[in-house]
Chain A
Amino acid sequence: MLKVLNPTAGPARGTSGVAPRLATLDGKTLGVIWNGRAYGDRILSEVLDLLKQRYRVRDVLFREKPFLGNIAPEPLLAEIAARADAAITGVGD
């Protein structure tokens, strides 16, 4: 018989994960961060058009990251966090 050790590490603090979902987008402001990949702005615009058809979205903050390979700058994240009710972002590849 032999005892061996589990080599993995899970999330340490539970600080990553899915944010609480909104019940509706009616009357909400959406933050959108385009990572800069070609045509990503067009796809996101299409998505926003669909959302606007289904919900009475109050406003949209459309922002672009300076570079897709880097985390969005702190001021951009702070603006989205302060002014938007929900945010759409992702790697997008």
Chain B
Amino acid sequence: MSDVPLAAEQIDVEDVFAAIELYHERGWTDGLPVVPPTEKRVRALLDAAGLAPARVLGEIPERDRVITAEHLAINAAMAGCLPAYMPVLAAAVEAITDPAYRFNHMASLGSPWPLFIVNGPLARALRFNSGLYLFGPAARANATCARAISLLLWNCAEARPDGIQRGQWGNPFRAVGFIAEDESTAWDPLHVVLGHPRETTTVTAISLYPGFQQLHCARSTPEGLLDTVVDAISTDEFFRGTYTLFVSPQHVAVFVAHGWTKRHVRDYLWERCGRSVADLKRRGTWGVMADKPAGFADVARDVLPGDETRFVHLFKPNEYDRFMQATGALERGADIYVVVGGGNAGIRMAYVVPYGVSTDPVTKPVRAAAPTG
């Protein structure tokens, strides 16, 4: 065990119960009790990842914050994480402090929060849930890792309602947004699709609007299943970004029987998601989506001749994308991740909506533990 001194203030308390109350009183927890983080427990977490306490995992320049391994280990201990989770958590912090993630968007009224998807051998070894009750609660790894990141950003980046988190509704992924993919089907897992070796463990962070939508997909062909998804995504937030579709193993079997890969699924949605200008005007999205630079208070919302047949692609660039051009979202592009998971039986798919205009998903490899130095 490393004997490098820890930087954190040490506080004397009478017992475990007094410690729990102390964290409530000081605003260091989210409303639930915490496991009191002792030096012994924190060092066990650091050692499991081979991380020196002062090792910088990421920086948040706009908050002038530096996140060290010690900060992460303390908050992970509070969340009840096993030491073996620590390398995965370190990769998660590296993902959300990557410049491409654009941390500043986290303060938004839209309540964005990262969903973390773990792929590769460590996901299984650490028993991250990828199956039944995927969005839980169901498994210690999922629940405690989600809360570890939530507490870390609560305590070290002011991501709380009395700090910089100004979300209108809040985001339940703070409690359950750390999942694994079911890699037992014929489809390539997400990290392989993204170009990582199958035997690498990765963590992918995708910033999402709150919650997920499950869809009753009772058809028996790939097209039939996906037309339900096209309809739902096209009537949702209607912002370009990287959406994620969750497909159960049972549905994967349908796609595979018809020769469909994840790429086929992605391309089918890519081509079809969108709405007519008339639809967008009727729901009040048109001015926001397309004519923002003109000031959407001044945009004519009346449906004009021809609007019913003018189709606005959600994912593909098109002539109406002045808003997306302004945000830079077109240059960054968009994507549709297809992830296998959830209960094997069941006729529902699920998808999540990205906070897409200001952030990109980031995937980081999980590094094996090395000796602390």
Contacts from A to B (Cβ < 8 Å) = 1-9, 11-16, 36, 38-39, 41, 66-67, 69-71, 91, 93
Contact = CB atoms under 8 A, between A and B. Distances in A.
A93 B107 CA distance: 11
A7 B105 CA distance: 24
B328 A66 contact: yes
Size range of the interface on B? 35 or more
Given A6-B74, A7-B74, 11 more contacts: A2-B18, A2-B38, A5-B8, A5-B11, A5-B39, A6-B11, A7-B151, A7-B155, A8-B28, A69-B108, A93-B166
Contact of A4 (B22, B295, B327, B328): B22
B162 to A, nearest CB: 13
Contacts of B71: 7, 9
A74 to B, nearest CB: 13
Interface in B284-305: 292, 295-297
Contacts of A12: 59, 64-66
A7 B78 contact: yes
A4 B38 contact: yes
Nearest to B67: A9
A28 to B, nearest CB: 26
B10 A70 contact: no
Contacts of A5: 6, 8-11, 37-39, 42, 74
B213 interface: no
A3 B64 contact: no
B233 interface: no
A2 B18 CA distance: 9
20 contacts: A2-B14, A2-B36, A2-B38, A3-B11, A4-B10, A4-B11, A4-B36, A5-B11, A7-B23, A7-B78, A7-B156, A8-B28, A9-B65, A9-B155, A11-B63, A13-B66, A70-B102, A70-B327, A70-B328, A71-B62
A70 B327 CA distance: 8
A89 to B, nearest CB: 13
B228 interface: no
Interface string B100-140: 00101101110000000000000000000000000000000
B12 interface: yes
Contact of A7 (B10, B16, B28): B28
B292 A36 contact: yes
B75 interface: yes
Contacts of A3: 10-13, 38-39
B8 A2 contact: no
